[in-house]
Structure 1
């Protein structure tokens, strides 16, 4: 699998776990996401965006970085452009870094939508900022190696059918939930968990294990 890390402008904690996750991947920076490169100890192969929020003076070792500028008035976000650039270069897996928070909540929401979109196209997608991790969910049973006591939630983007959660303090067995239900908020792992969504659109958001941050 060709795995790319996409550096986005949201907040990150450059923990050992995040640095290890990015290590060995190919890296593309989206606009102000470039500021994460130094603390993650990587040099992107490409920097894209309209550069309206990028650092005015990137680190000296990044001044020769290949750039693809775009107009500010455009139909795609900088993160979307970076993801498409990765796919053009053969990406089959994406690690979205700095996607889960930031100075604008609409940007974080857009990143969640993008994660769901590309996962639906068969791309392996993970979001990680050093503090929280997130993964799109689907009809295939998926296991997640969470430590006992770790908090997690299922974020719904539609009504869900056949939601099953095992290995949690509050398990569910093939439950149907409307979009407006908050039943899946703030669950607790007893150890590794498994989640299946027979039909619907959702993500799992979990705390990173503090012992390996």
Structure 2
């Protein structure tokens, strides 16, 4: 597996969990996302974007990172371009750091849908702000390593059929969840969280660091 971290321009906290997830990964920064590099103690191998949001007073080592420049008027965001470049360089799994929050809600929503599309292509994806993270859910089952009482939600991006959740305060057994339902919002881990889905697409949103 070739794991890359993409530094995006959203909110980010350098939690121990995030540091473990990005340890030893190759790093590409998307425009303003390079501002997170110092906090995470990483040096990107490439800086991608139109550079309309370059942070002021960058440390010398970051200002010297090789750039791949794109015009401001383009048909992909800087984040999607960075993901595409990582894929060209062999990425089979991605951590999208800084995928939530920030001044543009449309970009945050795009990161969720982009992650689902990548997952359908067989690419492993974790979206993270450090304080919270997202994992695409497609048909199949998987287990997750979260502590007891960790808050989580399952956000459906379609009707969900055969959704089973165990290791939770409110377990579910092969239920149907209509698109737009709040049934799967605000649950808590209780034991070993496992989620199975027969049909549909969703995002597991988890808050491992509720203090942030």
Q: TM-score range by the shorter chain?
A: over 0.9
Q: Runs of 5+ in structure 1 lacking a partner?
A: none
Question: Residue 12 of structure 1 contacts residue 130 of structure 1 at CA under 8 Å; is this kept in 2?
Answer: yes
Structure 1: 4+ residue segments shifted above 6 A = none
Distance 2:47 2:208 in 1: 28
Distance 2:16 2:202 in 1: 28
Distance 2:56 2:68 in 1: 16
Matched with 1:179 is 179
Question: Residue 159 of structure 2 contacts residue 179 of structure 2 at CA under 8 Å; is this kept in 1?
Answer: yes
Alignment of 1:9-20 (within 5 A): 9-20=9-20
1:115 Cα deviation after fit: 0.5
RMSD: 1.5
The TM-score, its normalising length taken from structure 1, stands at: 0.95
Aligned length: 212
Matched with 2:125 is 125
The TM-score, its normalising length taken from structure 2, stands at: 0.96
Distance 1:17 1:179 in 2: 31
1:57 Cα deviation after fit: 3.6
Question: Residue 145 of structure 1 contacts residue 191 of structure 1 at CA under 8 Å; is this kept in 2?
Answer: no
Deviations 1:41-87 (A, max 9, x none): 00000000111112144211112211011111111011100000000
Matched with 2:157 is 157
Q: Runs of 5+ in structure 2 lacking a partner?
A: none
Matched with 2:41 is 41
Q: 1:42 to 1:104 in 2, by over 3 A?
A: same
Question: Residue 31 of structure 2 contacts residue 52 of structure 2 at CA under 8 Å; is this kept in 1?
Answer: yes
1:144 Cα deviation after fit: 0.7
1:209 Cα deviation after fit: 4.9
Distance 1:39 1:56 in 2: 15
Question: Residue 8 of structure 2 contacts residue 33 of structure 2 at CA under 8 Å; is this kept in 1?
Answer: yes
Matched with 2:71 is 71
